[in-house]
Amino acid sequence: MRDVGVVIHLAARVHVMHENVKNPLEEFRKVNVAGTEHLARSAAASGVKRLVYVSSIGVNGWQTDEGRVFLETDTPNPHNVYAVSKLEAELSLHCVAAETGLEVVVVRPPLVYGMGAPGNLAQMLKVLAKGIPLPLALVHNLRSLIYVENLVDALILCTTHTAAVGQTYMLSDGEDISTSDLLRHLGAAMGCPVRLFPCPQALLKLAGRLTGKSDQVERLLGSLQVDSGKIRRELGWRPPFTLQQGLQATAEQYRTR
């Protein structure tokens, strides 16, 4: 990292859908904690001024209750071993910063969407493209998202702004949306009919448990809202793209693949 001024650290062990090790937390720690600390100490030793670390909203928790949003001041409540490792990585970075003078900035994004996004969003796009009916008409949750271009814009700002040093920031597009409305927006952008029909959520959760997909079902049904006001107030950040623009670009890119 000779002659490097800033490091933006996104690499991690993540999206391990079928874990086959005896101690998953230790495997996550090897990369996400020990690897991150090694990178930070190497950066400091090489004269790097600042490290911007992309953590996870999972550090705050699994989901939010009605009327509640995640804030930077919340007590951490990581919901799985991946989120535990990301929290431990944050703590290790602050220790390195105190010892070496390396400037550290932490961001915790929610679901990042855009071309090539994995997980539930990719499945949604595939299902919509095929016109498959979905039992989600009664889902009125609220979830915060961030378009990948908005994330990049915020990360670039965090590499230079003097007020960002030592801070943790939540990020989002600033417009929360339900799963059912998300599907409608994506379908409209793709030019595909969106066929939603009502189904009791209790039945959907039961189906998730029976099929071993409870986590995926909970993400579709539950709310997860973040307040990105801190980075807007302190750094003057405004997402350059609206939620509608981000979803339109995501759907159009998928349609042209």
Contact 182, 224 (CB under 8 A): no
What CATH code is assigned to 1-108?
3.40.50.720
The model's pTM is: 0.91
pLDDT score, position 45: 96
Report helix, strand and coil shares of the chain as percent, to nearest 5.
45, 10, 40
Mean pLDDT, residues 123-128 taken together: 85
Contact 34, 95 (CB under 8 A): no
Give 256's contacts (C-beta < 8 A, 6+ positions apart).
none
Extract the tokens encoding 77: 């409540």
Confidence class for position 155, pLDDT limits 50, 70, 90? very high
Contact 149, 183 (CB under 8 A): no
Q: Distance between CA atoms of 249 and 117, rounded to whole angstroms? A: 12
Contact 114, 250 (CB under 8 A): yes
**Cα separations (Å) of 99 from 45, 55, 74, 115, 226?**
11, 21, 25, 39, 31
Q: What is the pLDDT of residues 132-149, one digit of tens each?
A: 999 999 999 999 999 999
CATH of 114-144+174-257, one of 2.115.10.20, 3.90.25.10, 3.40.50.800, 1.10.3720.10: 3.90.25.10
Q: What is the pLDDT of residues 2-46, one digit of tens each?
A: 899 999 999 998 876 566 778 888 999 999 999 999 999 999 999
Considering 53, 82, 113, 169, which one is annotated as catalytic?
82
pLDDT score, position 212: 86
pLDDT score, position 255: 61
pLDDT above 90 coverage of the chain, percent: 73
Helix (H) or strand (E) holding 250: helix 243-255
| Domain range summary for the chain, segments of one domain joined by + | 1-108, 114-144+174-257
Angle at 229 between CA 89 and CA 86, to 5 degrees: 10
Extract the tokens encoding 63: 């989901």
Decide if 82 is catalytic. yes
Mean pLDDT, residues 109-131 taken together: 85
Q: Distance between CA atoms of 41 and 207, rounded to whole angstroms? A: 47
Q: What is the pLDDT of residues 179-238, one digit of tens each?
A: 999 999 999 888 888 999 999 999 999 999 998 888 888 889 999 999 999 999 999 999
* pLDDT score of 256 more than 70: no
